[in-house]
Chain A
Amino acid sequence: EAQVTQNPRYLITVTGKKLTVTCSQNMNHEYMSWYRQDPGLGLRQIYYSMNVEVTDKGDVPEGYKVSRKEKRNFPLILESPSPNQTSLYFCASGPIDSNQPQHFGDGTRLSIL
């Protein structure tokens, strides 16, 4: 089954404690992306990757890091989480072709206390 898998689905943690949200896709997609979704603000892109070892900043990259060492994996790293990073996070993947939709993971709800 074609899917994008995020882990964990839910996490409550404290300010300053490093955390990683993993994302894996099994569709051999070149493009992967991280979004955060906040009430009234919609989905905003954090980072994206066009292929292995190629990453770039989206609209709201501050406080986040990513890596793309393998095609299937695109982890999101919060080195020193803060309460304003409390949000619902989605990973997505898609082919490079513009007319193909992105496929989204089920989301990770992060609460930073």
Chain B
Amino acid sequence: GQNIDQPTEMTATEGAIVQINCTYQTSGFNGLFWYQQHAGEAPTFLSYNVLDGLEEKGRFSSFLSRSKGYSYLLLKELQMKDSASYLCAVDNAGNMLTFGGGTRLMVKP
């Protein structure tokens, strides 16, 4: 079966750093995606990891450990506009994604 776990909610302060964790147990693994979704809007792509290690993209970084079934998304210099849900998704095979329940991040002034 497929199981992807993320915290339901997190709160952080503007300007701070926050780490959103994702653990997974899936029957196949072709990579892990992180998406951002503002309330009522479509998910938008943030990052992709297939090899162990850290991928950095501006204020956002994503880390993967395949042996531990673990990933995290790191958001630096938080801004109010970063308040959104963050979705972890595993590519099981051929772009077939299984999503976690999403982490709702609230950024406070």
Contacts and interface: CB of A to CB of B under 8 A. Distances in A.
Interface stretch (B10-18, B60-68, B76-84, B91-99): B91-99
A17 B32 CA distance: 39
Interface string A23-45: 00000000101010000111111
Bin chain A's interface residue count: 20 to 34
Contacts of A59: 98
A94 B99 contact: no
A31 B94 contact: yes
Given A101-B45, A104-B42, A106-B42, A42 B87 contact: yes
Contacts of A106: 41-42
Contacts of A94: 95
B45 A105 contact: no
A1 interface: no
Contacts of B40: 107
Given A43-B43, A107-B42, A98 B99 contact: no
Contact of A107 (B41, B44, B45): B41
Interface of A: 31, 33, 35, 40-45, 48, 50, 59, 90, 94-107
Interface of B: 30-31, 33, 35, 40-45, 48, 50, 87, 89, 91, 93-102
Give the top 8 A-B pairs by smallest Cβ distance, nearest first. A101-B45, A104-B42, A42-B101, A98-B30, A43-B99, A42-B99, A31-B95, A94-B95
15 contacts: A33-B96, A41-B101, A42-B102, A43-B43, A45-B96, A45-B98, A96-B95, A98-B30, A98-B93, A99-B48, A102-B95, A103-B45, A105-B42, A106-B42, A107-B41
